[in-house]
Amino acid sequence: MVQKTVCIPKYTNDLIKKEMESFVNLETIQIAFPDIDIIFIKNIVLEILSEYRYFINDYSLSNLVLHIAIAADRIKNNAGYGEYEQTMGTLNLLPHEYELSQKIVERLEEHFRLKFSAGEVQEMTLLLVSRATSLNYNSITVDNLADIIGKDCIDLVYELVNAIGSYYYINLNEPEFLIRFALHIKNLLIRAQNEHFCKNPLGDTLKATCPLIYDDAVCCSSIIKDWTGISINDDEISYIAFHLGSTLETQKALASKLSAVIYCPTYYNMGNRLLENICSRLDTELLIANIITEEADLDKITTPDFIICTVPINRSLVTPFVQVQPFLMESDVIAIRQKINEIRTSKKRETFTSYLHQIILPDFFERGEGFPDQEEAIHYLCEKFRQKGYVEEQFETEVLEREEMSSTGFQNFAIPHSMRMRAKKTGMYLYLCDTPTNWNGMPVYLIIMLCFNRDERYIFNEIFEPLTMILTEPNNLKKALTFHEYDEFIAFLSGRL
């Protein structure tokens, strides 16, 4: 089935791109280094990479230009690198990769009248091979991907794809995503082998604004560690999240499409014209299930999410509706979108509230003095789950392993959990601290521990992100901490969605 799903994923990509560009776009780099011609550096890099048939994406190009600008500035101020003790062999580099760097350096030296040391050239080579991809990108297919990145790497990539699909219900087998993701993982492993990780200025922002995507990326980093022994830092986890983000948003867009029925009395084929206009403007948000011309037929249809009508409806309906002009004015499109947002919010709130009542027992709501640190808190809450028969003893180890991968602390609250999702029962434990708990150096006043049974892991997708987004708002967290009753707390969370 082919669906047009451009709008929502494009918005997500644009948002991430705009956030990224606000930190490392070329204009910002030029302001930071006014004496260095940033556009010249960019053009030289692209020219040489093209000559050697290398591909580099916009994010990596901006980061590479930034690193070159920093290096040039260091040299201008007599603070360049000396000679590296490592040889080319120990750095896992190929001769043509070093030659590529030397060509770029020669052009830079000529233009800026600087002298790059051998150490600087090796640094440049590491940056290039860990950010650029050999071969023409358009020539890469799923069928020849293993030949390009190697069997071990492609096996790891499919393990990541299968794990994310199994735990988070995300299908990552779309070819374009698979190719880009595989190339990223290959370059990540090269960076890791040479201990040269990328810095990501959006790490904290992404974790706070896209917590589910970030948690998916942490799951990937855990698998990478299991397979390779390589520990991935928060910056690299965020880059993995970038790759997962657009695919997840695409699938969320498909899942959140609403169904509607058009009620339009027969008059010069207006119903069909209205259908065409609605589909052209709202295709990513709506699925038109039917067109009816008689009001009596409203009783015969399978109940849609709402009705779009061109004339007043004279009967009482449970199904919401919105009345529009037969020729669909801009104000009509706005009204339909408002109705879509209302219904989506109502559905999310209903689902969210239902799951909270399902997984939080009254005994799983507690106020207390707090804990010295996160290890003490995790031990206490895991023991509470264990005593109720929700988890086995190894659950605590799994929670600590997740914490070691990347802290589950946010702004004054934490949501510790395991990535394994193999609890006996699904549960949520709420602990409100009268004095803050030291969570990796951050004061935490609310701790929410989660455990999930494998058969109910879909609940994680439904509650984790809205819960995090609600509590990330400081006023919401401040209010949440005032409650002393379980029902009040749940009602407050539901009302803030």
Span 279-336, pLDDT tens digits: 888 888 888 888 888 888 888 887 899 999 999 998 888 899 999 998 889 999 999 9
Domains, in order of start, for the chain: 33-134 (1.10.1790), 140-254 (1.10.1790.10), 258-342 (3.40.50.2300), 360-495 (3.40.930.10)
Whether the per-residue pLDDT at 407 is higher than 90: the answer is yes
Span 362-383, pLDDT tens digits: 999 999 999 999 999 999 999 9
- What distance in Å separates the CA atoms of residue 327 and residue 220, rounded to the nearest whole number? 49
Whether the per-residue pLDDT at 88 is higher than 60: the answer is no
Distances (CA, A) of 466 to 27, 198, 238, 435, 497: 35, 29, 19, 26, 7
More confident residue, 268 or 375: 375
Whether the per-residue pLDDT at 271 is higher than 80: the answer is no
Average pLDDT over the chain reads 82
Q: What is the dihedral of CA 457, 462, 466, 471, to 10 degrees?
A: -40
E strand or H helix at 264: none
pTM over 0.85: no
Which of the four pLDDT bands, split at 50, 70 and 90, describes residue 18? very low
Counting Cα atoms < 13 Å in the Cβ hemisphere of 372 gives 3
- What distance in Å separates the CA atoms of residue 168 and residue 162, rounded to the nearest whole number? 10
Whether the per-residue pLDDT at 46 is higher than 60: the answer is yes
